[in-house]
Amino acid sequence: MFSLPKNATIIEVGPRDGLQNEGKLVQTEDKLQFISALQKAGFQEMELTSFVSPKWVPQMADSKDIVAGTEKMGRQFVLTPNERGINAALESGAQSLAVFVGVSNTFNQKNINKTTQESMAALKPLVLDLKKQNVFVRACISTAFYCPFEGAISPEATIDLCREFVDWGIDELSVADTIGMASPKESYDLFTKLINEFPEVLMTAHFHDTRRMALANIVSALQAGVTRFDTSAGGLGGCPFAPGATGNVATEDVVNMLHRMDIQTGIDIDLLCTAIEKIEPYVTNPVTTGMYTLYKNRL
């Protein structure tokens, strides 16, 4: 039977995942205008920026100013790869942190310059300490289905990595199809297993739309019981260290689909499109998503 929830939570990742891969540097003030317009559209959870090395991801070099310039509202995540990033994020006033690790060793090496095991060994004391301080910690699990270098990832490997984080007391798992290769069947199967294994944590699905399967994957994740989705306004984004990773699934198209299925999100699609209008002049590619195109053509 097709059973659906009444509500779903959208975590807007455009200011972080959406912009991190953008070749042209976007001015801090323009990012802040985008974030402020997104807030007006109703997002209660958002990834704002990353405290990563500016040598690795130049677009995120203004993370401190982004946190300082953003009105505090709901849950605002910043990504942190290491102790230096965590300390800088806490000093900036961030209260919700996201750590990130790839199931695939090769991807993790290219993204964080460590094997998955080295990353986990380094993160463990840091995450335990954050939890002692009552900081909300989200763990982003990259290459949970496929890796651009290693190919298919076994569900057991993803579940084992998630279990380590859950044992440390993290609050949320954001499980990612980094290169947009998972099928709706794989999405249903993995999220069913994850929800059965870890009912105590918030479970979020993070789909990139490389092969245009993300909306279908969201429907099958909903069927598995997931009610939280990372999405990016305008479908912007991708990981600079995952060849072939295009944008995240577009927030406006996901919100429209959910609303049409009588699943409420609290997001106003017109206001969301005005937020996209603010950032579109500063990104390389025109935004061509379904709902934004209709909005632009006033249809």
Active site residue ranges: 239
Q: How far is the CB of 250 from ligand HMG (least distance, A)?
A: 15
Q: Helices 251-260 and 214-224, interaxial angle, to 10°?
A: 50
- Binding of residue 209 to Mg ion (CB under 5 A): no
Task: Read off the tokens for 32.
Answer: 């802040």
Q: Give the per-residue contact string, 227-246, with ligand HMG (x = CB under 6 A; - = no).
A: ------------x-x-----
Residue pair 204/221 in contact (Cβ under 8 Å)? The answer is no
Q: How far is the CB of 151 from ligand HMG (least distance, A)?
A: 16
- Binder of ligand HMG out of 111, 116, 246, 251 (CB under 6 A): 111
CA distance 255 to 201: 23
- Binding of residue 82 to ligand HMG (CB under 6 A): yes
Q: How far is the CB of 126 from ligand HMG (least distance, A)?
A: 12
Residue written as tokens 């975590």?
11
Q: Give the per-residue contact string, 64-83, with Mg ion (x = CB under 5 A; - = no).
A: --------------------
End-to-end CA distance of the chain: 34
Helices (H) and strands (E) in the chain, counts: 12, 10
Task: Read off the tokens for 57.
Answer: 């991801």
Which residue(s) pair with 175 in the sheet? 141, 205
- Binder of ligand HMG out of 14, 15, 18, 20 (CB under 6 A): 20
CA distance 101 to 114: 10
- Binding of residue 158 to ligand HMG (CB under 6 A): no
Query: Which option in Mg ion, ligand HMG, none does residue 85 bind, with CB closer than 5 to 8 A by kind?
Result: ligand HMG
Q: How far is the CB of 53 from ligand HMG (least distance, A)?
A: 3
User: Residues 8 to 47: which contact Mg ion by CB under 5 A?
Assistant: 17
The pairs formed by 1-6 with CB atoms below 8 angstroms and a separation of 24 or more are: 2/223, 3/223, 4/222, 4/261, 4/262, 4/263, 5/222, 5/227, 5/263, 6/262, 6/263, 6/264
Contacts with ligand HMG by CB under 6 A lie at 17, 20, 50-53, 55-57, 79, 81-82, 84-85, 100, 111-113, 140, 142, 176, 178, 206, 208, 239, 241
